[in-house]
Structure 1
Amino acid sequence: MKFGIHAGLWMDRWTQDPAPLFDRAAALGFDAVELSLLGIGPEQAARLRQAAADAGVALSCSTGLGPEADPASADPEVRHHARETLARAIETVAALGSSRLAGVVAAPWGQFDPAHKADRAKRSGETLGQMQAHLAQHGVTLGIEALNRFESDLTSTAAEACAIARAAGAANVGVLLDSFHMNIEEKDPPAALRAAGDTLVHYHVSDNDRGVPGSGRYDFAADARALKDIGYQGWIVAEMFVCAGRPTSADLNIWRDIEPDADQAAAQALAHMKEVFANVG
């Protein structure tokens, strides 16, 4: 079991160089750092891969697709662009020495079209399924993130994300479930995890306010029991956004400081993760 931290905790902009954060994460005791590909291209991969190796941390990656690369689009050209965009992302992940890519990949963030939801979900599953050969070639697993209703109408629940992953019919396509989103959408988050079963390939934690896990009202111990029940072998990554006044925070509607200090938040998160998830995996 690897415990990771999303670099976005410390980043002002997605284009900021994350390399200096690797030593910071390692010093706090994390095994892994998750990088957003929104500011990273293949030309940076070799340098970042070496920096991570020097710091002694593994890398995972997240990304998001824009409207011009919507896998669920009715326009074949847009779906083609989605496949091209995902192919480049997969290649970048492999060049970083990582095998994990997850995020907003079923449909663009903040785009809503509920009247055509069933058709969009079908097309999204087909498009992502067509990435299987490229994923397998590069040894990368793709996780479809379930987002809350304010960020997506297509994958608002674990069941919706899992349905698209299963419809893809691809061994290297699964789901990413996140406690922050499940806290909003799931009546019973542990039941959602159990229903996801081996479709679950990545798991994010933050508390109900997107701050330190264990500082709010989310029941992480119940999630830990569910993860153990399904034999989850993936990573547990703290994805916290706690500081206002940054472009990255504005993207995620963080309008006040959730925690007073990012380093302290990371240390507290890791302590809670190790305590609660010690027997998972």
Structure 2
Amino acid sequence: MTVRWGVSPIGWVNDDLPSLGAGTPLATILDDAAAIGFAGIERGGVFPAEPAALAQVLQGAGLALAGAWHGSGLLAHGLAGERAAIEVQAALLDACGCGVFVLAETSGAVHGRRDVALRARPRLAPGEWPAFGAMLTALGDRLAERGQRLAYHYHLGTVVEDADDLARLIDATGESVGLVIDTGHARLGGIDPVAVIRDHPARVAHVHAKDVRPGVAAATIGQGASFLDGVLAGMFTVPGDGAIDFAPVCAALRAIGYAGWIVIEAEQDPALAPPAAYARAGLAHLKALWG
């Protein structure tokens, strides 16, 4: 069984708060990722949006595309209203040989707003889940026909944040809807990633590995601060630098034969947490556990 080790550029330049890392050249991000030894990198906002240009840039750096965030507005616009944007993203992934479509529903989401408390995030009423799940399943089926796997990303500040949300999502969707196992968002959202991996192995489509500092989270988002306030204060870090024990996570992934991407990720201020050094340390920590 072989996993592929990737990295998110969010430690270099933060798409939710572009002032973090503003002005960092794309070449620096790519050179750092390649020098550390990552096989791939996820797409960030400073990357080309045109498929051929993105493929060329990645090829020049010797990196594969490990994924690309897509914030959907299914609840606001319906599947038909989102079709064009989804097709653009799918075409970009195709051009770069990436088979995983990372998606989070961002209708009403607050994670990108520093003026809104995280606790004000949107929620779905029980009766709204079936229709939402049906749209996601239809999308997952459509993507599967073109060789891509839908990987739903539960995320703080969105309609799928906590364990109850995730359970409802799984119940409302078919097997074509996979999951991003994000350890950091799981820990702060009250989700047990090991249990999700164990109980829903067929759903595990992608992994984001990041650590958390619970004391910082408690002092910020736990007291009514925004998601971005928590990020700025340092509630996230790379594996091995926080409170999460990644040994059970790695063991659970090995037990199901996981062979996709494991992406090192941490939303941090690069002026306080040098991104290359942190990414290198996170990768080393996980590789030592993986064996």
Identity of aligned residues (%): 25
The question of whether the paired residues in 2 share the 8 Å contact of 1:64 and 1:108 is answered with no
Counterparts in 2 of 1:1-281, with a 5 A limit? 1-11=3-13, 18=26, 21-36=29-44, 40-41=48-49, 44-65=50-71, 70-73=73-76, 77-105=77-105, 107=107, 109-110=109-110, 112-114=121-123, 116-132=124-140, 134-148=142-156, 151-152=157-158, 154-157=159-162, 160-161=165-166, 163-164=168-169, 167-169=172-174, 171=176, 173-186=177-190, 188-208=192-212, 209-243=235-269, 257=272, 259=273, 261-278=274-291
Cα distance in 1, alignment partners of residues 36 and 148 from structure 2 = 27
Q: Which one is further off, 190-199 or 26-35? A: 190-199
In structure 2, the residue corresponding to 1:144 is in which secondary structure?
A: strand
Cα deviation for residue 19 of structure 1 reads 5.5
CA change 1:187–1:244 in 2 (3 A) is same
Cα distance in 2, alignment partners of residues 11 and 198 from structure 1 = 33
Q: Which one is further off, 56-65 or 155-164? A: 155-164
Structure 1 unmatched ranges of 5 or more:
246-256
Cα deviation for residue 94 of structure 1 reads 1.1
TM-score with structure 1 setting the length: 0.78
The question of whether the paired residues in 2 share the 8 Å contact of 1:72 and 1:120 is answered with no
In structure 1, the residue corresponding to 2:254 is in which secondary structure?
A: helix
Cα distance in 1, alignment partners of residues 172 and 252 from structure 2 = 24
Cα distance in 1, alignment partners of residues 88 and 94 from structure 2 = 10
CA change 1:241–1:106 in 2 (3 A) is closer
Name the aligned partner's letter for residue 184 of structure 1.
L
Structure 2 unmatched ranges of 5 or more:
111-119, 213-234
Partner of 2:231: none
Name the aligned partner's letter for residue 230 of structure 1.
I
The question of whether the paired residues in 1 share the 8 Å contact of 2:7 and 2:264 is answered with yes
Cα distance in 2, alignment partners of residues 60 and 270 from structure 1 = 15
1:70-126 deviations in whole A, cap 9, x for unaligned?
Answer: 2134xxx54422233222211221122211221423755328443x43233222211
In structure 2, the residue corresponding to 1:87 is in which secondary structure?
A: helix
Cα distance in 1, alignment partners of residues 128 and 190 from structure 2 = 22
RMSD: 2.8
TM-score with structure 2 setting the length: 0.75
Name the aligned partner's letter for residue 168 of structure 1.
T
Cα distance in 2, alignment partners of residues 139 and 18 from structure 1 = 29
CA change 1:95–1:134 in 2 (3 A) is farther
How many residues align? The count is 252
Name the aligned partner's letter for residue 215 of structure 1.
D
Cα distance in 2, alignment partners of residues 216 and 262 from structure 1 = 16
CA change 1:29–1:123 in 2 (3 A) is same
Cα deviation for residue 204 of structure 1 reads 0.7
Cα deviation for residue 241 of structure 1 reads 1.8
Cα deviation for residue 158 of structure 1 reads 5.4
Q: Which one is further off, 88-97 or 266-275? A: 88-97
